[in-house]
Amino acid sequence: MLDYTEQIDFYLKRLFPICRSITGEGNRETLRILQEIIPLIIKEYPTGQQVYDWTIPKEWNIKDAWIKNSRGEKIVDFKCSNLHVVSYSVSVHKTVQIDELKPHLHFLEHLPEAIPYRTSYYKEDWGFCLSYNDYQCYFNDGDIYEVFIDSELKNGSLTVGELLIEGKSKKEYLISTYICHPSLANDNLSGVIMTAFLGKELQEIKNNFSYRIIFVPETIGAIAYCANNEKIMKKIKTGFVVSCVGGPGKYGYKQSFNKEHWVNRFIEQTFHENRIQYRTYPFDIHGSDERQYASPGFRMNTPSICKDKYYEYEFYHTSLDNLNFINAETINDTLDFYLQIMEKLDKNLTYEKRIPECEVMLSRQGLYPKEGGGLIPGETTTNELDTLLWLLFYCDGRTSLFEISEILHEPMNRIYELAFTLEEKKILVRTEPE
Binding site for its own copies (CB under 8 A): 51-54, 86-87, 116-123, 125, 219, 222-223, 226-227, 230, 257, 285-286, 291-292, 294-298, 310-311, 316-317, 352-353, 355-361, 363-364, 371-377, 381, 386, 389-390, 392-393, 395-397
- State the DSSP string of 283-343: --SSSSTHHHHTSTTT--B--EEESSPTTSSTTTTBTTSSTTTS-HHHHHHHHHHHHHHHH
Smallest distance, Å, CB 166 to its own copies? 25
Strands 251-254 and 278-281: parallel
CB of 404 vs its own copies, minimal distance in Å: 12
Instruction: Compute the least distance from the CB of residue 195 to its own copies, in Å.
Output: 20
Q: Is the Cβ of residue 5 or residue 49 nearer to its own copies in the bound state? A: 49
Within 10 angstroms of residue 317's Cβ, the number of other Cβ atoms is: 19
Give the nearest distance from C-beta 334 to its own copies in angstroms.
21
* Separation of alpha carbons 76 and 2, rounded Å: 42
Tell the smallest beta-carbon distance from residue 270 to its own copies (Å): 27
| Nearer residue to its own copies within complex by CB, 23 or 332 | 23
Nearest Cα neighbor of 201 from 414, 402, 31, 3 is 3
Are 185 and 357 in contact, with CB atoms under 8 Å apart?
A: no
The least CB distance from residue 296 to its own copies, in Å, is: 4
Q: How far is the CB of 205 from its own copies (least distance, A)?
A: 30
Encoded amino acid at 425, one letter: K
Q: Which is nearer to its own copies, 164 or 361 (CB)?
A: 361
Give whichever of 69 and 258 is closer to its own copies, judged by the CB atom: 258
Residue 271 to residues 179, 251, 259, 341, 414: CA-CA distances in angstroms?
Answer: 27, 9, 16, 9, 18
From residue 259, give the alpha-carbon distance in Å to each of 48, 262, 293.
Answer: 37, 8, 15
Residues 128, 102, 143: CA angle, nearest 5 degrees: 105
Q: Find out whether the peptide bond into 333 is cis, omega within 30 degrees of 0.
A: no
Closest distance of CB 362 from its own copies, Å: 9
CA dihedral sign, ordered 115, 121, 123, 124:
positive
Nearest residue (CB) to its own copies, 181 versus 344: 181
Nearest to its own copies of 121, 209 (CB atom): 121
Q: Which of 282, 276, 268, 273 is nearest to 249 (CA)?
A: 276
CB nearer its own copies, residue 116 or residue 199: 116
Give the shortest CB-88-to-its own copies separation in angstroms. 8
> Among residues 142 and 373, whose Cβ is nearest to its own copies?
373
DSSP labels, 167-225: -SS--EEEEEEE---SS-IIIIIIHHHHHHHHHHHHHHS--SSEEEEEEE-TTHHHHHH
Calpha distance 231→281 (Å, rounded): 30
